[in-house]
């Protein structure tokens, strides 16, 4: 069984988000390639905005007992990215969302899919979630491919915070663990 504080995938080590991850997040949020699909304005954010975002996500952990994990490369101990589960509202409905973002030097190696698989396993098998949703901008084709590789089912297009997204869902009964 995976520990909720820290767990491993084939190539990565995950640890529960903490205040010590601020500098990693600041570096990620200074990269315009990463932020193009992460913010409503499609741009980078300041260190102060990142600090606030980290605080919000630490608050999520305190409140719900789950949230984001930070993933590092097992061998080189480099910060690769973050992934996790967040309570959110979509079209007025309460949902649990799978989130992921990677430093751009790690794109294209299957790592987002590897993170997503581990987080879904934890969500369904340990947290007992019934449903997880994932949504991404209609223009974010790499993320749509990750969502499909993970096995989510397409539901519909939505407008979320004023932007067009494709919205997918996975029910617990549809989750098939890879290992
Ligand atoms: C989206 C993101 C998470 C993908 O991470 P990744 O580690 O490169 O993803 P993976 O390697 O697991 O899979 C990417 C897939 O998309 C495909 N892909 C990449 N760019 C593509 C494009 N422009 N069009 C279509 N498919 C594309 C890849 O070929 C791969 O599919 P394959 O395994 O069938 O070849 C990463 O680019 C990222 O962090 N982006 C910025 C943050 C973000 O957008 N997060 C998601 C918010 S919903």
Ligand 1 atom having least distance to the Cα of 33: 41
> What proportion of the chain, given as a percentage, has pLDDT over 70?
99
Q: Is the CB of 110 under 6 A from ligand 1?
A: yes
In order of 27, 38, 155, the CA distances from 50 in angstroms are 10, 12, 31
Which tens digits make up the pLDDT trace of 132-161? 999 999 999 999 999 999 999 999 999 999
Q: Is the CB of 36 under 6 A from ligand 1?
A: no
Q: Is the CB of 34 under 6 A from ligand 1?
A: yes
Question: Model confidence at 177, in pLDDT bands (50, 70, 90)?
Answer: confident
What domains appear along the chain, each with residue ranges and CATH number? 6-174 (3.40.630.30)
* Segment 146-151 long-range contacts (CB within 8 Å, at least 24 positions apart): 146/100, 146/112, 146/113, 146/116, 149/113, 150/98, 150/113, 150/116, 150/117, 150/120, 151/175, 151/176
Question: Model confidence at 47, in pLDDT bands (50, 70, 90)?
Answer: very high
Average pLDDT over residues 19-38: 97
Q: In this predicted structure, what is the pLDDT of residue 3?
A: 84
């Amino acid at each position: 069984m995976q520990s909720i504080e820290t767990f491993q995938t084939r190539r990565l080590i995950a640890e529960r988000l903490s205040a010590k991850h601020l500098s990693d997040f600041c570096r990620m949020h200074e990269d315009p390639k990463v932020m193009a699909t992460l913010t409503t304005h499609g741009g980078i954010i300041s260190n102060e905005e990142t600090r606030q975002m980290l605080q919000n996500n630490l608050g999520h952990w305190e409140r719900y007992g789950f949230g984001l994990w930070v993933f590092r490369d097992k061998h080189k101990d480099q910060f690769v990215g973050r992934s996790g589960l967040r309570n959110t509202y979509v079209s007025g409905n309460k949902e649990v969302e799978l989130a992921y973002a990677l430093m751009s030097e790690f794109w294209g190696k299957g790592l987002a899919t590897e993170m997503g698989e581990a987080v879904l396993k934890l969500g369904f098998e340990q947290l007992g979630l019934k449903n997880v949703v994932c949504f991404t901008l209609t223009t974010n084709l790499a993320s749509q491919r990750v969502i499909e590789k993970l096995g989510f089912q397409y539901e519909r297009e939505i407008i979320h915070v004023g932007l067009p997204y494709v919205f997918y869902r996975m029910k617990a009964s549809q989750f098939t663990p890879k290992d």
